[in-house]
Amino acid sequence: MSAAKDYGLIAIAGVLLALLPAATHSNTVINALVTVMIIGLAAQGWNLLAGYGGQFSFGHAAFFGAGAYGNAILQARYGVNAYAAVLLATAIGAAVGATIGYLSFRSGLRGSYFALITLAFAEVFRIIANAAPLTGGSAGTLIKLQVSPQNFQFADRAIYFWIILAFVIAAMLLMRGIERGRFGAYLVAVRENQDAAAALGVDTLTVKLKAITLSAAMTALAGAFYVQYFLFVDASIGFGTWISVEALLAPIIGGLGTVFGPLLGALALHFLGEFAKAVGGRTPGIDLALFGILLVVTVAFARHGLQGLLTRWSAGWRAGRPA
């Protein structure tokens, strides 16, 4: 696909999504859209590391939580300006990513081992955040409600949606750029065969470190924005397994290692969740059980996710036969 066509598609998606708040004034819908975008951004971070780089993290909550707590603590305890706090929190998340990445990649951990150690780091952070005075212990940390654009707080929820949408679109443009650049080629080489890539002169440690740092920064930005929107974080929100799982489910369901995958997947997960609520009523766990089934089915039957299905169908129609 040509560059113009790709960037055009991303722009069209952005414009169409940006028009959504015009169609509704319901806060419930806007809330849902914002949540979908937050997950889409966290998922794009996961997609960079796992979809392109082949390093499957089961603990992206570590980065989401670093961004969320970073933002909340900087504002609530140190009175830092909200915009600066979001930026700093993103940097903190990137630093956490670089540290975890350096420790695990330098020790040569990959595959299941890497998944396990990221899971363990996220759990350690969760236990600490649940007990430490700095994070507010099990009570969590609140940001004071002071609605004013200076505080990155808006009365109109649609503004939050446009901001997070802009982040998501920017992340997609960045991914498209990376995908076709040298860094993207190195990443895919590491994913496909790390030893061969190293033998051909790719500095695999540096490539993986760059990937996890950037990945963590995206996910941390999603966490920081989450706090900015809901003004609250505790250990089970920031470092809970839910975000590790959703950040991984969305790209896999949408299309692993594709620019549109995480966003498609986040939207699909949301509709599936709503469907589960409509069918299962208030029974807890039904939505997540469906997500799990979807994960198994996607891996078993649709390796390239929704994006792959769309491509296959459109190719089928263009050839004059339904796929």
Partner 1 sequence: MSSPDIWAAVVLNGLMSGAVYALIAVGLTLVYGVLHIINFAHGAMLSAAMFAAYLAYLAGIDPYAAMIPLALVFFGLGYGLQRLVIGPASHGDDQNILLITLGLSIVIENLLLAAFHSDTRSIDVPYGFSTFDLGFTFLALPRAVAFGVSCLVALLLWLLLAHTDTGKAIRAVAKEKLGASLAGIDVVHIYAVTFGLGAACIAIAACLLLPTYYVHPRVGNAYVLVAFTIVVLGGMGSIGGAIAGGLFVGVVESISGLLFGESLGQLGIFVIFILVLLLRPTGLFGARA
Instruction: Give min distance, CB of 79 to partner 1, in A.
Output: 31
Q: How far apart are CA 84 and CA 283, in angstroms?
A: 41
Binders of partner 1 among 236-275, rule CB under 8 A? 245, 248, 252
Binders of partner 1 among 101-130, rule CB under 8 A? 103-104, 107-109, 111-113, 115-117, 119-121, 123-124, 127-128
- CA triplet 146, 151, 153: central angle to 5 degrees? 65
Nearest Cα residue to 231 out of 165, 167, 132, 140: 140
Nearest Cα residue to 159 out of 228, 218, 90: 228
For residue 118, the tally of other CB atoms under 10 A from its CB is: 26
Instruction: Give min distance, CB of 219 to partner 1, in A.
Output: 18
Backbone φ and ψ of 153, nearest 5° = -130, 130
Of 21, 40, 53, 54, which one interacts with partner 1 (CB under 8 A)?
Answer: 54
Of 139, 293, 315, 323, which one interacts with partner 1 (CB under 8 A)?
Answer: 293
Give the x-and-dash track for 161-200 against partner 1 (CB under 8 A): ----------------------------------------
SS3 at position 141: strand
Q: How far apart are CA 278 and CA 293, in angstroms?
A: 18
Give 24 or 193: the residue with its C-beta nearer to partner 1. Answer: 193
Give 252 or 263: the residue with its C-beta nearer to partner 1. Answer: 252
Q: How far apart are CA 103 and CA 77, in angstroms?
A: 30
Backbone φ and ψ of 141, nearest 5° = -125, 135
Alpha-carbon distance values, 136 to 32, 87, 192, 205 (Å): 27, 22, 43, 36
Residue 3 CB contacts under 8 Å (≥ 6 apart), including other chains:
180
Of 8, 149, 181, 285, which one interacts with partner 1 (CB under 8 A)?
Answer: 285
Instruction: Give min distance, CB of 119 to partner 1, in A.
Output: 8
Binders of partner 1 among 294-323, rule CB under 8 A? 294-296, 299-300, 303
Instruction: Give min distance, CB of 224 to partner 1, in A.
Output: 25
Instruction: Give min distance, CB of 232 to partner 1, in A.
Output: 21
Give 121 or 225: the residue with its C-beta nearer to partner 1. Answer: 121
Which residues sit at the interface with partner 1, rule CB under 8 A? Answer: 54, 56, 58, 103-104, 107-109, 111-113, 115-117, 119-121, 123-124, 127-128, 131, 245, 248, 252, 280, 283-289, 291-296, 299-300, 303
